[in-house]
A and B are shown apart, each in its own frame.
Chain A
Amino acid sequence: MTDSALEVVLGPLASIPPGEGRAFAVGEKRVAIFRTRSEHIFAVQAECPHKGGPLADGLIGGTTLICPLHAWKFDLSSGEALMGSCGLSTFPVRVDDASRIVLTLDR
């Protein structure tokens, strides 16, 4: 952990059902958090770069995310666009010993 990073506790892991995503407001920033059925957790920007679709409402499978508006696809772990050109910002995120979601943001 460097000085320029800030850790934010988003809430209990149980606030997100397995296989789905939820959007969180962190100050001015909005972040979509996904919890896969295999219990991996990912954090990406909340809006689709295509037309601003709410990514937290998307379908996920493995590490693929599909935007609910026009089915653009992204890789959750790298943020890479799987079709189309513009990818997503990703953020480090983990689950702590108290089963809380902890997001790391640049200060």
Chain B
Amino acid sequence: MQKKQNLVVIGNGMAGARAVEEILGRGGAAQFDITMFGEEPYGNYNRILLSNVLNGSQQSSEIFLNPLAWYRENGITLHLGVLADSILRKSKCVLGCDGTIEAYDKLIVATGSRPYIPPIEGLTLEDGQYKPGLFVFRTLDDCREISEYAHGRGRVAVIGGGLLGLEAARGLQNCGVEVDVIHRGPFLMGQQLDAPAGTILKTSIEKLGIGVHLNKNTTRILGDNRVSGLVFADGGRLDYEMVVIATGITPNAEIGARCGLTVERAMVVDDQMRSIDDPDIYVVGECAQHHGRVYGLVSPLWEQAKVLAEHITGRNTNAAYQGSKVATKLKVMGIEMASLGVTEPEDEHDEIVQFTEPKKGTYKKLIIRDGRLVGGILLGEISKAAYLIQAFDRGTPLPEERLTLLFDIGAPAKQAVTLEELPADAQVCNCNGVSKGAIVGCVKNGKRSAKAVMETTRAGTGCGSCRSLVADLVEWACGGEAEQDPSIHYYVPGIPMTKPDLIRACREQNLKSVSAVFQALAAGQEDAASKPGLASLLTTIWASEYEDQRDARFINDRVHANIQKDGTFSVIPQIPGGVTNALQLRRIADVAEKYNVPMVKLTGGQRIDLLGVKKEHLPDVWRDLDMPSGYAYAKRYRTCKSCVGTDYCRFGIGDSTSLAIRIEERFQGIDSPAKLKLAIAGCPRNCSEAMVKDLGAVAVEGGKWEIYVGGAAGAHVRKGDLLCVVDNAGDVIQYMGRFIQYYRENAKYLERTYGFVERIGIAKIRAVVVDDSEGIASRLDEELRKSVAAYRDPWKEAHMPATPNQFASLLPVIQ
């Protein structure tokens, strides 16, 4: 067995402990002997809830994340109450202030931060101790001392009008004292708000009985033996019996500076969370500076800890921290607010959407760049926060009607009730019968990401239409601190790469089969659920050069038919444009009789379905039908419906049927990330419902065709977006083909066009597909042409099985 490495962690706060949890969660206990230094004499606690301890709504015992037993159970050596004094990089060890020496192979620095103390005179007595009555607000001990001292006092000042200061003020008010907030800046919460919002917040807070003094620069604390008042730069003075300083944080980076690590505002790290000077030293949390930014919030810390753990355990040496988009929902003194990204526009091209109603304490402002949300403030009324935070996090294009970003107007709100009001027994997933209560219960049992909850409860794993509601519920049940699962950005769950990265890797490394991809990119670890997605992608990349491995296919694609609930199959032959004839119908009828097909049904795609065919009969059924496969079982081009069109219809203005037949001939069998259902309508009456198809074309007067993309009328209903209007049927085929290829290359596996078009935005798609803004149009056309050329009817496989016993449903045993 390989000898374990020594992993030393300096800091036992939220960042240090979380990093260790993430490492243990990846089997790190087998790789490392772990030692931690913690300055405070406790296990690890949730610092965010400190103000609840101060205001008495929670006991200090309730906010511990990991009790001391956790360290014992996981075999972690914990030096409690021991401050790490220095790092000796040459001899690779850490010195504790009590003389402890711990040698390390890998070191994690998670020293966090401490309160920033502004330069004020009179902070201390002659002995160097803070004056009695002066406190900083940061640690659990601070909380206890503050509330004990506050008891029975008169007026108290909090210096600092940021989030922490306001939290402290609220806590102190609950202790029964009169509180003033003293703030240097021109408005409250300068990190999260702009001036108008800060002004509205001030009014709201004053109504709660808290005094607010702005533009007050404290220069001196009065009092000989204990605090008696404050003096300000403008010469004013106010009397206070107690002062609490809450003016932000300073990263604890000195230990890094002393051993020669680069320190700017904090210790500077690379994308793997390692110090840029030493690959064996990782830095995480508030003491780390990544791409010029230091994060003081909890969700970036979680993201950093995950990357660190992936990298240090070797699970994914390509794991990279990309920086965090900061979006928070807060409740300050009962006032709800949300803040995302920037608070002010950065140039004249940024678009601002704004609404103010000071009387109600409501303020909403959004900053939009290139049709996407880059910042925003919601104060007082935040019902749109979940939607906006999601749009901000994912960078999705915003609706043209900007008003709908701020309000639910016209039709009743999508969610008639809030998540809170939704009864516990309300069914959220209608496919698998999962209630709100089951989802919340799952979160309480420790599943903290939407993906984990979906895997455990199966909610959202049916038709998928409830997935966003499930994600919202998980977010709500986690109190707004749900974990983002990075795998939502992966193309398939088993390979930690986005689709563009994966395509690049497959091309560069010449990976042409699914097993070659697992070998090269997942250390040989096969993942069953990832196989069909990889097979689809490799077909798109390599067309006829793809090395087909049948075990990577879902059963439908192995036997070219759609599996039914009893293990039999459905057979749908190709009927282009929905046009058939007596000969074909007679043949279908003969097959139905000969093979005792239990049900013959017309499909929604204008075809004929033979249901209940036994697997072993499939080859004979195909041979007798003598028609090509209609592909009604695959993640591919399916069919193109059409209305009668000009041949007989008295309203027809475009020959929809001929066009539908040409489209079928062109795109038959083309594989894609999800199924593609098309329709052509011969006039704007739109009888073939072309506007709710993945791709549709509608004939309009003047010999023109409108092309729609991204429509849906199944689990999800969406009217397609108009891509363009063209002059002839040939152009319809060309633009549809180009869109299909762009979708094939850029959509996630199983992402239908309605999701893809919303995610990318129709403006971008139109630019690429119609206006050739990226200069890739002819390449897209050429790639699609190759796939078209690679088409062959899979039903020709009937009597040349691709694998042993391909069509056997049960093999007899000869004894």
Question: Does B782 make an interface contact (CB < 8 A)?
Answer: no
CB–CB A59/B810 < 8 A: no
Chain B residues lying within 8 Å of A59, measured Cβ to Cβ, are 528-529, 531-532, 551, 554-555
Question: Does B811 make an interface contact (CB < 8 A)?
Answer: yes
Least CB separation from B514: chain A residue: A19
Interface size range on B against A: 35 or more
CB–CB A16/B555 < 8 A: no
Question: Does A58 make an interface contact (CB < 8 A)?
Answer: yes
CB–CB A68/B563 < 8 A: yes
CB–CB B813/A8 < 8 A: yes
CB–CB A58/B455 < 8 A: no
Question: Does B567 make an interface contact (CB < 8 A)?
Answer: yes
Chain B residues lying within 8 Å of A30, measured Cβ to Cβ, are 810
Question: Does B550 make an interface contact (CB < 8 A)?
Answer: yes
Report the Cα distance A48→B488, complex, angstroms. 28
Chain B residues lying within 8 Å of A52, measured Cβ to Cβ, are 566-567
Most interface-central of B549, B565, B804, B814 (chain A CB within 10 A) = B804
Q: A26 → chain B, closest Cβ, in Å?
A: 5
Report the Cα distance A57→B559, complex, angstroms. 10
Q: Which of B456, B529, B815 contacts A8 (CB 8 A)?
A: B815
Instruction: Say yes or no: A17-B532 contact (C-beta < 8 A), given A11-B813, A62-B527, A71-B461.
Output: no
Chain A residues lying within 8 Å of B549, measured Cβ to Cβ, are 19
CB–CB B528/A17 < 8 A: no
Q: A3 → chain B, closest Cβ, in Å?
A: 19
Q: Which of B494, B532, B550, B810 contacts A20 (CB 8 A)?
A: B550
CB–CB A61/B810 < 8 A: no
Least CB separation from A17: chain B residue: B803
Instruction: Say yes or no: A16-B526 contact (C-beta < 8 A), given A37-B515, A57-B567, A69-B565.
Output: no
Chain B residues lying within 8 Å of A20, measured Cβ to Cβ, are 550-551, 558, 803
CB–CB A24/B550 < 8 A: no
CB–CB B812/A25 < 8 A: yes
CB–CB A11/B551 < 8 A: no
Write the B788-815 contact mask toward A (1 if CB under 8 angstroms, else 0).
0000000000000001110011111111
Question: Does A18 make an interface contact (CB < 8 A)?
Answer: yes
Question: Does A1 make an interface contact (CB < 8 A)?
Answer: no
Question: Does A23 make an interface contact (CB < 8 A)?
Answer: yes
Instruction: Say yes or no: A25-B811 contact (C-beta < 8 A), given A68-B563, A83-B456.
Output: yes
Most interface-central of B550, B563, B805, B813 (chain A CB within 10 A) = B813
CB–CB A58/B551 < 8 A: no
Chain A residues lying within 8 Å of B455, measured Cβ to Cβ, are 83
CB–CB A22/B563 < 8 A: no
Report the Cα distance A52→B568, complex, angstroms. 12
Question: Does B712 make an interface contact (CB < 8 A)?
Answer: no
Question: Does A49 make an interface contact (CB < 8 A)?
Answer: no
Q: A56 → chain B, closest Cβ, in Å?
A: 8
CB–CB B527/A23 < 8 A: no
Write the A1-21 contact mask toward B (1 if CB under 8 angstroms, else 0).
000000011110011111110
Instruction: Say yes or no: A54-B567 contact (C-beta < 8 A), given A8-B815, A59-B529, A62-B528.
Output: yes
Q: Which of A8, A25, A36, A83 contacts B810 (CB 8 A)?
A: A25
Instruction: Say yes or no: A17-B550 contact (C-beta < 8 A), given A11-B813, A25-B811, A57-B567.
Output: yes
Q: Which of A8, A19, A37, A58 contacts B555 (CB 8 A)?
A: A58
Chain A residues lying within 8 Å of B555, measured Cβ to Cβ, are 57-59, 68
Chain B residues lying within 8 Å of A51, measured Cβ to Cβ, are 565
Chain A residues lying within 8 Å of B565, measured Cβ to Cβ, are 51, 69
Report the Cα distance A54→B567, complex, angstroms. 6
Question: Does A66 make an interface contact (CB < 8 A)?
Answer: yes
Q: Which of A37, A68, A73, A83 contacts B526 (CB 8 A)?
A: A37
Instruction: Say yes or no: A24-B528 contact (C-beta < 8 A), given A19-B551, A60-B551, A68-B563.
Output: no
Instruction: Say yes or no: A61-B563 contact (C-beta < 8 A), given A16-B805, A25-B812, A30-B810.
Output: no
Q: A74 → chain B, closest Cβ, in Å?
A: 10
CB–CB B811/A23 < 8 A: yes
Report the Cα distance A11→B810, complex, angstroms. 13
Interface positions of B from 446 to 470, Cβ below 8 Å from A: 455-456, 458, 461
Chain A residues lying within 8 Å of B163, measured Cβ to Cβ, are none
Q: A32 → chain B, closest Cβ, in Å?
A: 10
CB–CB A61/B529 < 8 A: yes
Least CB separation from B529: chain A residue: A66
CB–CB B530/A61 < 8 A: yes
Q: B811 → chain A, closest Cβ, in Å?
A: 5
Question: Does A64 make an interface contact (CB < 8 A)?
Answer: yes
Write the A64-103 contact mask toward B (1 if CB under 8 angstroms, else 0).
1110110101000000000110000000000000000000
Report the Cα distance A93→B803, complex, angstroms. 22
Question: Does B525 make an interface contact (CB < 8 A)?
Answer: yes
Question: Does B552 make an interface contact (CB < 8 A)?
Answer: yes
Least CB separation from B528: chain A residue: A61
A-B CB proximity, top 9 nearest? A19-B551, A61-B528, A61-B526, A17-B803, A57-B555, A54-B567, A68-B555, A59-B528, A20-B551
14 A-B pairs within 8 Å (CB atoms) are namely: A8-B813, A9-B815, A14-B804, A17-B551, A17-B803, A20-B551, A20-B558, A53-B567, A57-B558, A59-B528, A68-B563, A73-B528, A83-B456, A83-B458
Q: What residues of chain A have their CB less than 8 Å away from a CB belonging to chain B?
A: 8-11, 14-20, 22-26, 30, 36-37, 51-54, 57-62, 64-66, 68-69, 71, 73, 83-84
